[in-house]
Amino acid sequence: MENKFVKILVLIVIFVSIYTLYDQISGGSSIFGGDKNKVEEAYNLIQKLYVDDISDSALSRSAIEGILSQLDPHSIYLTTDEVQGNEEEMKGEFEGIGIEFQIIKDTINIITVLQGGPSASAGVLPGDKLIKVDDSSAISLDTDQIRKKIKGKSGTSVKVHISRYGRKDIFPIVIKRGKIPVKSVTASFMLDSVTGYFNIVRFGEKTSQEVLDVLKALQKQGMKQVMIDLRNNTGGYLNEAVKIADYFLTGRKLIVFTKGRISQANETFAAEESYPFEKMPLVVLINRASASASEILAGAIQDWDRGLVVGERSFGKGLVQQQLQLQDGSAIRLTIAKYFTPLGRSIQRDYENKEDYYSEIENREDETGDNLNHELDSAKDMPAYLTPMRRKVYGGGGITPDYFVSEFKNKKTALELLKNNFFSQASLKWYEVNGTETKKNFKDVVAFQKDFEFNANDINGFYEFANVVIPESGIRAEIASGDYMKNRIKAEIAKFIWNQQGYFYVSSSYDAVVVKALSLFAEASKIAKLK
């Protein structure tokens, strides 16, 4: 196993010609004999004899990706652009114009304009269509191509050409780029007089401080119990998840530990400081897209009976990656360890069949219901562990919630509509016509949530459009149950006006997971022995 690990690293080094790094790792000695020469020989033969021209960079990248494909699904190669993009996201800021967009039918539709950002200051509005960037057409470009065009150093300018509903012309707007904050917490508010809610969309360099600031702000508003939404959070920095767990765990309780082949990869993380949130009832929301650092946080809370976990079974990623930069600025993200919850659970799913590894997520069918002793867990063939309250939990298949709750009453149809971008398109079409008047009529999202209603013509239009997006009979009946469609479109419209804060505030009123979680705080307090 040791030789295999070193061989992988050395092969990578060979292909990108980073011989100095190889010398540091191996001391300059060849530890696998003729294999090094064989790889170099094949590489040189391809360069000299292959029928078509092929660049060294393309060959190197293919070689690295081929090597990494033999490992786990999370050991990957990153281009220089991908490295830069990930660093910006994790650092909590980037330089650009401050918009979120979606490509619909080859056209860039601006969905969100960051309040106080460069685009907002220049007069860009949600619903605008971006037709040109400087003197180049933006039609039919992909997401990466657009981002490259609009991003740039703070203080520099970019001219965009906009198409706007109600205007016949395509008009230019000059935007002066600036530093754009990338928030980990995109929504926080009081669900009722005592329940504070916030989401965490990623674990970046500043996430724990963001969360601490949000907790203090909600506490000033009367928060006495906490709901943390980790749904669709795919992870990030382990240390940040550890710090947030520390906000809620008392004493020196273990949060997570890691085990790797090399001793440097073996680490233990425990709570260190005292916080005023340690005695507050706690509920954590997860779904099948909650992964890695999200699972560390949810797992620590569950293992110590500190709170309840509600939603769907999480992704099941229990591997720790280290990003190793290569000479040209690209990098490999290499799995160096596995992490374990306080009880010793590895939550990593089996990845022997890589083709099924991601498709399994989409095809899961979890049974809705009370799962406090985890009788509904699908991982009963895996090792069982007992929490301090003698609740049984399992490893090897993600974090299973204490209460299974589906986000959709009509799951199949709702997912089809989501996949086909129905809600974004329907809300955008409606907002183009009615957005200006709606903004005038409602001073804030609280008033909007309370008083706004679609009329009958709006609803019929949504159903007609749904049948265009997904041509199938019975869609009206399937969606009508629970009014999911109109509620989701209402939340999307709130996002146009009040960004993510607006979306989550409106969606919380009909979100089945949030509604169920609100009813569980007495149980959460009981298992945590807070009363």
Rounded to 5°, angle at Cα 309 from 304 and 312: 140
Q: Alpha-carbon distance 437 to 444, whole Å?
A: 14
Mean pLDDT value across residues 43-69: 83
Position with higher pLDDT, 286 vs 138: 286
Taking CA atoms, 225 is separated from 193, 194, 277, 304, in Å, by 10, 6, 8, 17
Q: In this predicted structure, which of 241-245, 375-379, 510-514 has the lowest mean pLDDT? A: 375-379
Q: Quickly state the pLDDT bin for 65 (edges 50, 70, 90).
A: confident
Residue 66 is predicted with a pLDDT of: 84
- Least confidently predicted of 93-102, 268-277, 373-382: 373-382
Cβ neighbours around 395 below 10 Å, total: 23
402: nearest Cα among 249, 279, 529, 523: 523
Contact status, residue 248 vs residue 307, Cβ threshold 8 Å: yes
pLDDT of residue 473: 46
Q: Which amino acid is at 16?
A: V
Check if the beta carbon of residue 265 is closer than 8 Å to that of residue 336.
Answer: yes
Look-up: residue for tokens 């060294």? 56
SS3 267: strand
Please list the alpha-helical segments (H only) found in 442-483.
Answer: 445-451, 456-469, 475-480
Asked whether the predicted pLDDT for residue 94 surpasses 50, the reply is: yes
pLDDT at residue 14 tops 70: no
- Per-residue confidence band for 373, with pLDDT thresholds at 50, 70 and 90: confident
In the prediction, which pLDDT does 308 show? Answer: 98
Give the chain's radius of gyration (CA, Å).
25
Non-local CB neighbours of 205 within 8 Å, separated by 6+ positions: 90, 91, 92, 237, 240
Higher pLDDT, 284 or 261: 284
pLDDT at 358 over 70: yes
- Written as one letter, the residue type at 276 is P
Confidence of residue 6 (pLDDT cuts 50, 70, 90): very low
Q: Is the pLDDT of residue 378 over 80?
A: no
From the list 44, 72, 74, 48, the residue with the least C-alpha distance to 60 is 44
pLDDT tens readout for residues 422-458: 888 899 999 999 999 999 999 999 999 999 999 989 9
Pick from 313, 459, 451: which is nearest to 382 by CA?
313
User: Any alpha helices (H) in 69-190, and if so which ranges?
Assistant: 80-91, 118-122, 143-150
Given pLDDT bands bounded at 50, 70 and 90, which one contains residue 22? very low
pLDDT in tens, 164-192: 888 888 999 999 998 888 899 999 999 99
Q: Given this model, what pLDDT does residue 145 score?
A: 87
Question: Rounded to an integer, what distance in angstroms lies between the CA atom of residue 426 and that of residue 433?
Answer: 11
In one-letter notation, the amino acid at residue 469 is V
Q: What pLDDT sits at residue 174?
A: 94
For residues 160 and 101, give the distance between their C-alpha atoms in angstroms, rounded to a whole number.
14
Amino acid at 52: D
Tens of pLDDT, residues 113-133? 888 889 989 999 988 999 999
Amino acid in position 343: L
Which residue in this structure is represented by tokens 């990656």?
321
Confidence band for 284, pLDDT divided at 50, 70 and 90: very high
State residue 223's pLDDT score: 98
Phi, psi of 284 (to 5 degrees): -115, 130
Closest listed residue to residue 270, CA positions, set 282, 258, 287, 286 = 258
Over 70: is that where the pLDDT of 291 sits? yes
Mean pLDDT of the chain: 86
Residue in 242, 342, 269, 348 with CA at minimum distance from that of residue 299: 342
DSSP string, 239-252: HHHHHHHHTT--TT
Largest Cα–Cα distance in the chain? 77
Q: Is the pLDDT of residue 82 over 50?
A: yes
Residue type, 364: R
pTM given for the model: 0.85
pLDDT in tens, 300-339: 999 999 999 999 999 999 999 988 888 888 898 899 999 9
What element of type H or E holds 490? Answer: helix 484-507
Query: β-pairing, 282-286 with 225-229?
Result: parallel
Q: Where is 309: in which H helix or E strand?
A: strand 308-311
The reported pLDDT for the residue numbered 258 is 95
59 exposed, middle or buried (CB, 10 Å; 0-12, 13-18, 19+)? middle
Segment 370-386 shows an average pLDDT of 83
User: Parallel, antiparallel, or unpaired: how do β-strands 403-404 and 308-311 relate?
Assistant: parallel
pLDDT for residue 477 is more than 80: no
Structure confidence at residue 34 (pLDDT): 53
Highest mean pLDDT (candidates 99-113, 483-497, 516-530)? 516-530
* pLDDT at 36 exceeding the cut of 70: no
d(CA 322, CA 453): 49
Mean pLDDT of 287-310: 97
Q: Is the pLDDT of residue 482 over 60?
A: no
Mean pLDDT of 270-297: 96
Q: Please determine, for residue 71, whether its predicted confidence score (pLDDT) is greater than 60.
A: yes
Catalytic residues, by residue number, are 292, 303, 317
Q: Residue 256 CA to chain centroid, in angstroms?
A: 21
408 or 215: which carries more pLDDT confidence? 215
Residue 100, pLDDT > 90, answer no
Task: Please give the pLDDT value at position 93.
Answer: 67
The residues, any chain, with a CB within 8 Å of residue 321's CB and separated by 6 or more, are 74, 75, 333, 334, 335, 336
> Can you tell me the mean pLDDT for 506-520?
95
Percent of the chain with pLDDT over 90: 50
pLDDT of residue 296: 97
Helix/strand/coil percentages in the chain, nearest 5: 40, 20, 40
Q: Examine the pLDDT at 77 and tell me if it is beyond 70.
A: yes
More confident position, 86 or 275: 275
